[in-house]
Amino acid sequence: MTLILGLEGTAWNLSVALVSEESVLSEAESTYKPKYGGIHPREAAQHHAAELKDVVSRALRSAKEEEEEFSLASIDAIAFSQGPGMGPCLRTVATAARALSISLKIPLIGVNHCIAHIEVGRWQCGAKDPVVLYVSGANSQVLAYRSGRYRVLGETLDIGIGNALDKFARYLGLSHPGGPKIEDLASKGTDYIYMPYIVKGMDLSFSGLTTAAKDAIDAQPDKKEDVCYSFQETAFAMLTEVTERAMGHLCKDEMLLAGGVGANSRLQQMLQTMCEDRGGRFYVPENRYLKDNSAMIAYLGLLMLKSGNTTPLDKSQVKSNYRPDDAEVTWRN
């Protein structure tokens, strides 16, 4: 059995997990919650630095409770999120990962966070070769695997859908994260208000939608529910359209949803309908594997270790703009 300790801390969630081929042995986390406004990268990094020791200890302790024979010597490698993410947060977690790798004398593995979202979904759902819709705060991409890389087939040209929802939620005076609160309000909306639908080829744009939603609230402050409903219907239809086109172009019949925004039930419903209509299969993992988590980092670390893909210390610098198509996929053929 191979056992990997994974560290995640690209943004506001600090998380540590122990994962083997069979299961997630343990996972512990600590979430930075901004007092007001959005995530401040330096404050989030300070949170991670202060909490790291405790979160690592909790993950180790619950591994021991789960499996009597577990000890530090059972760990085969240390995996960490090398990017993309907020520079100060990434550097804090990478420093801890290097220290653990050096002191335990085991390999270090720098993981691409986006690909970790994909691989944990494939693992948990049993999808083989899906078109992936990866939707989170900072990212919105449609991807598929071909010839040693996850290729980005379409993506946002400005902000991620999660950030678009969070920004609008903040305008409504709601606290971070805004996505679930918008989902709540949207479920009570009934009338569609016009919103700009921006798909350019395979790419998407969401910042105009946020502006339009703010304008709609200024014009009709009592129509919160309808504006949230219209925002969601428009943004999710855009995402569904591009995902469907990717499935059509590539003749693939599996579709996997990944990333924190994937928890949205209206988005899941639209994608499910699209997949059913074309005779395809729709896969979505449990919420704990959609949002940022360290089990996914440890799991991708495991795939990388087994395919001989480790990261020497002098190549372990963080990459805040690390694109999924920049990472070589050594564990699929």
Q: Is 292 in the site for Fe ion (CB under 5 A)?
A: yes
Nearest approach, Cβ of residue 170 and ligand ATP (Å): 11
Q: Is 263 in the site for ligand ATP (CB under 6 A)?
A: yes
Q: Is 10 in the site for ligand ATP (CB under 6 A)?
A: yes
Q: Which of Fe ion, ligand ATP, none sits in contact with 177, Cβ below 5 to 8 A by type?
A: ligand ATP
Nearest approach, Cβ of residue 161 and ligand ATP (Å): 8
| Distance in angstroms (rounded) separating the CA atoms of residues 192 and 221 | 15
Instruction: At 177, give phi and psi (nearest 5°).
Output: -85, 140
Token pair, residue 244, equals 């469907």
From its phi and psi, is residue 38 left (phi > 0), alpha (psi between -120 and 50) or beta?
beta
Q: Decide if 151 contacts 331 (C-beta within 8 A).
A: no
Nearest approach, Cβ of residue 272 and ligand ATP (Å): 15
- 19-78 residues near ligand ATP, rule: CB under 6 A: none
Q: Is 292 in the site for ligand ATP (CB under 6 A)?
A: yes
Q: Is 189 in the site for ligand ATP (CB under 6 A)?
A: no
Q: 């999710």: which residue's tokens? A: 236
Q: Which of Fe ion, ligand ATP, none sits in contact with 154, Cβ below 5 to 8 A by type?
A: none
Q: 């709601």: which residue's tokens? A: 174
What is the H or E stretch that residue 236 is in? Answer: helix 224-250
Q: Which of Fe ion, ligand ATP, none sits in contact with 88, Cβ below 5 to 8 A by type?
A: none
- 93-132 residues near ligand ATP, rule: CB under 6 A: 113
Q: Is 139 in the site for ligand ATP (CB under 6 A)?
A: yes
Q: 């949207």: which residue's tokens? A: 186
Q: Is 137 in the site for ligand ATP (CB under 6 A)?
A: yes
Q: Decide if 26 contacts 59 (C-beta within 8 A).
A: yes
Instruction: At 21, give phi and psi (nearest 5°).
Output: -60, -35
Q: Is 198 in the site for ligand ATP (CB under 6 A)?
A: no
- What number of other Cβ atoms are within 10 A of residue 18's Cβ? 27
DSSP bridge partners of 131: 255
Nearest approach, Cβ of residue 319 and Fe ion (Å): 15
What is the H or E stretch that residue 199 is in? Answer: strand 199-200
| Distance in angstroms (rounded) separating the CA atoms of residues 50 and 39 | 17
Count of residues in contact with ligand ATP, rule CB under 6 A: 23
Nearest approach, Cβ of residue 13 and Fe ion (Å): 8
Answer for which of 136, 140, 240, 294 binds Fe ion (CB under 5 A) is: 136
| Residues lying near ligand ATP in the complex (CB under 6 A) | 10-11, 85, 113, 136-139, 162, 165-166, 177-180, 183, 259-261, 263-264, 291-292
